Structure formats: structure tokens, C-alpha cells
Amino acid sequence: MGRLNRDTLIALVLLVFCGVMFSASFEIEVTNYGTMQSSVWPQVVLVVLTVFSLGLLGQSIVKPRAVEASAEAAPAGLGRFRNALIVYVLFFLFLLTLDLLGMLLGGVGFVFLALTLLGEPSLKRVPLHLLIAVAMVGIMWSIFTFGLGVLLPDGELLQLN
């Protein structure tokens, strides 16, 4: 997909988003108090967002070269996002299992798996990754638990609090 098409697509997605949210703004409760209703400000913002999205749409059609995105945005296949996808999946799993594993075990698991999957695929590195995960998460967990008095989720497997 060319750059022109991508920015056109972004503008269209934004316009749909504005439409949906504008429609949702009519569901906001109307109160019989207050000078400015709670829906006014979001609607003002959505109108502004719609105008800018239309501007981006027009720009992407009229002057496609001017709408070039940053160099970062150049697509080069999904493989380019491998690391980001790994981290998102691991973080999602970490969140899903937080009730069971808690912050300490879950955190160690997340860091260990992230290191192992992002780093060099070598068995020699596994103990090092485990050591880093246990040490770093352990230190952070201790600072927040004992130093700052934060009750981090301990999970069903390891009840510490």
C-alpha cells in the first residue's frame, strides 16, 4: 500500500471513529444543572478532530508527497514487527495471568520470556536471562513492597502479603 493510500486510510478511519464517538456523545446523560452540558466539550473536540481528519484526507489526495509519513513508517513486511508483537503478546499474557501468578512471579516470567525470545536463540543464554529476570524484578518488587509500601498483587500461587 502506497503512502498516499495509507494516509487516506488513516483519515477515513479517523472519520469513522469521530462518527461513532459523536453518535455516542448523544448518549451522555443530560443534567438539569450546570451551565455547560457534559456532552458539549467532547462534541467540540470531535468536531475539531473531524475537521483536521478531513484536512488530512484532502491533503493526502491533493498533495500526496506532502503527506509522507516519517521514515519509521516505511513498511517492510510483518517480520519487522516481530519483536513488538512478541512483547505485546507476552505483556498481554502477563496481565491475563496476574491474578494467578502475581506481580513477582508474573514479572519474572515476563522478563525471562522476553529476554529469551528477543535475545539470541542460544541455550547458553537461558541461565543468564533467568538470573537477570529474577534479580531485576526481585529488586524492583522489593523496592516497591518494602521501600515504598505498595501492596503489589501477590497472586494465588504465591501469597506473600
Partner 1 sequence: MLDHILYAFSDVFAVWNLALMTIGVTAGLIAGAIPGFTIAMAIVLTLPFTFGLSPVEGLATMIGVFVGGLSGGLMSGMLTGIPGTPSSIATTFDGFPLARGGKPGFALGLGVWSSFFGGLISAVLLVTLAPSLAVIGLEFGPWDYFSLVLFALTITASLSGENLMKGMIAGALGLFIGTVGEDEVNGVARFTFGFDDLESGFSFLPVLIGLFAFSQLLSDIQDRVKAREPLMDVSGTDGRVRVEHLAAIRTILSRWTNLVRSSLIGVFTGVLPAAGGSISNILAYDQAKKASKTPEKFGTGIPDGIIAPESSNNATAGGALITMMALGIPGDIVTAVMLGALLIHNVQPSPTFISDNPDLAYAIFIAFFLAHFIMIAMQSVTLKLFLLVTRIPMYVLASVILAYCAIGVFALNNIVYDIWVLFFFGVAGYILRLLGFPLAPIILGVVLGHVAELNLSRALSIDNDLMLFLSRPWSLFFLVVAAFSIAFPWYQKLRGTQSWTLAYVPALLAAVAVPMFMMEGIARPIIGVALLAVSAYLLWRSAKAGWKVAPEGDHEVHLEET
Site of interaction with partner 1 (CB under 8 A): 6, 10, 14, 21, 24-25, 28-29, 31, 33-39, 41-42, 45-46, 48-49, 52-53, 55-56, 59, 66-70, 72-73, 80-84, 87-88, 91-92, 94-95, 98, 103, 107, 110-111, 114-115, 118-120, 132-133, 136-137, 140-141, 143-144, 147-153
What does 41-108 look like in DSSP terms, one character per residue?
HHHHHHHHHHHHHHHHHHHHHH-GGGG---GGG----GGGGHHHHHHHHHHHHHHHTHHHHHHHHHHH
Minimum CB distance to partner 1, residue 155 (Å): 11
Unique residue bearing C-alpha cell 484526507: 57
3-class SS at 22?
Answer: helix
Considering the complex, state which of residue 4 and residue 68 has its C-beta at the smaller distance from partner 1: 68
Minimum CB distance to partner 1, residue 52 (Å): 5
Minimum CB distance to partner 1, residue 80 (Å): 7
Angstrom distances, CA of residue 136 to CA of 100, 122, 128: 21, 21, 12
Minimum CB distance to partner 1, residue 102 (Å): 11
